[in-house]
Amino acid sequence: MHIAVIGTGYVGLVSGAGLADFGMIVTCVDIDEKKIRKLKRGEIPFYEPGLENLVKKNMKAGRLVFTTDLAKAVKNSLVIFICVGTPPSSDGSADLSQIKEVALSLAEVIDEYKVIVTKSTVPVGTNRWIKQLIDANKKTEASVDIISNPEFLREGNAVEDFMHPDRVIIGGESAYAIAIIKDIYRPLYLAETPFIITNLETAELIKYASNAFLATKISFINEIANFCEKVGADVTVVAKGMGLDPRIGAKFLNPGPGFGGSCFPKDVKALVKQGRQLSSPFKILEAVIEINEKQKMRAIEKLENFLGDLKDKTIAILGLSFKPNTSDVRESPALTVVNQLHQRGAKIRVYDPVAMEEFKSSIGQIPVEYSSSPEEAVKSADALVILTEWNEFRFLELPKIKSLMKSPILIDMRNIYEPEIVKKLGFSYAGIGRS
């Protein structure tokens, strides 16, 4: 079966390569010519473990090609996956301009039956709107069916998540189109992956409700962590004690500098916005967003507790991506922390194993010194802040780090070190939720 995948970002590229690995003949389309040129050379435009091998293997097998020519890709394909971005608008709602552009481009070129599958995260009602746009603008009598197939992969683990998802959600109205999509996912069906077949609206909401719930868990444990600091409790033990209850579960109970990334912040905001528009407000989610914004300031508060005025202080930051194993810095807490340090007149030195290039283009004019190692970052620093729990930060040679710093202050926003051990080494230490 021939498939077109439109948009070669995290979701499109992983899905395209994954579907090719299932045996489909996949054409990946993007408007970004530079990205497509790179991909044609087998180069991956972002860091994602395992993706390069998967892409190269399927290119070599002749099942995966890249192009900027949407018309040609669509002409040859029965099924078209939409994987373009749905970034936040200034009012919090999802910006659907990329989706609209794709729908209108499809309407221009469709000349026989196609199944259009939306993998992008889109507000409830969007799939119906996409079909209306295509039907109203198409140049021939050809019919289209629309399927909502939201994606749940996690950056940093995206290939594994695509190949072994917890569930596959298929929303639609045409039994024929649903059967085609089930057929595409046959390898997963055979591996007993749970499938949920439902209507468009339910499928769309499953994605938002899932992300909103996970974000709620994070904001919840962050508030518990802040409370722990007031009362002398240890949040790591509280979370462990909670997580052993299977009704709660241990995952997403790690406090930190606030959630970031390209999904949780924008998806929670978009759901809140749609709830307000439909007079069905999400009070919990409004609080989740507010708590998260405050949480991004906790590193600054902790630094000021130790150092007072941060003007002219040198602060070393380890970790810029919003989580380990990705180069993605979209909505990363590091952006807020660096911004705030700059506003306070601090000198900022940073290190991240893979995210420094992306951080450079996101942070704008703010002067930041980029280091080639943790040791270089901490040289003569007044304090060290760990923002992302990359494995390589878990095993720093702490005595050496201490000897390089001007004052040995360690703010561990991911609780990767044991307070007692670090204090014994002579550090002034603050974790999160461990007074």
Ligand X SMILES: NC(=O)c1ccc[n+]([C@@H]2O[C@H](COP(=O)([O-])OP(=O)(O)OC[C@H]3O[C@@H](n4cnc5c(N)ncnc54)[C@H](O)[C@@H]3O)[C@@H](O)[C@H]2O)c1
Residues near ligand X, by CB under 6 A: 6-12, 29-32, 35, 83-86, 98, 101-102, 120-121, 151, 153, 155, 262-263
Q: Which is nearer to ligand X, 85 or 374 (CB)?
A: 85
- Those residues with Cβ within 8 angstroms of residue 371's Cβ, 6 or more apart along the chain or in another chain: 316, 349, 350, 351, 377
CA distance 348 to 329: 17
- Could you tell me the smallest distance in angstroms from the CB atom of residue 71 to ligand X? 12
Helix (H) or strand (E) holding 348: strand 347-351
DSSP state, residue 253:
-
- Could you tell me the smallest distance in angstroms from the CB atom of residue 68 to ligand X? 8
- Could you tell me the smallest distance in angstroms from the CB atom of residue 99 to ligand X? 8
Q: Which is nearer to ligand X, 13 or 59 (CB)?
A: 13
Q: Which is nearer to ligand X, 151 or 382 (CB)?
A: 151
Q: Which is nearer to ligand X, 322 or 393 (CB)?
A: 322
Q: How many CA atoms lie within 13 A of 155 on its CB side?
A: 21
CA distance 226 to 299: 12
Q: Which is nearer to ligand X, 7 or 433 (CB)?
A: 7
- Could you tell me the smallest distance in angstroms from the CB atom of residue 199 to ligand X? 20
Which residue number has the CB closest to ligand X? 9
Both structure tokens of 252: 């997403």
Query: Based on C-alpha coordinates, what's the Rg of the chain?
Result: 23
**Residue 332 and residue 298 in contact, taking contact as beta carbons nearer than 8 Å:** no
**Residue 82 and residue 7 in contact, taking contact as beta carbons nearer than 8 Å:** yes
**Residue 432 and residue 411 in contact, taking contact as beta carbons nearer than 8 Å:** no
- Could you tell me the smallest distance in angstroms from the CB atom of residue 352 to ligand X? 18
**Active-site residue numbers?**
263
Helix (H) or strand (E) holding 402: helix 398-404
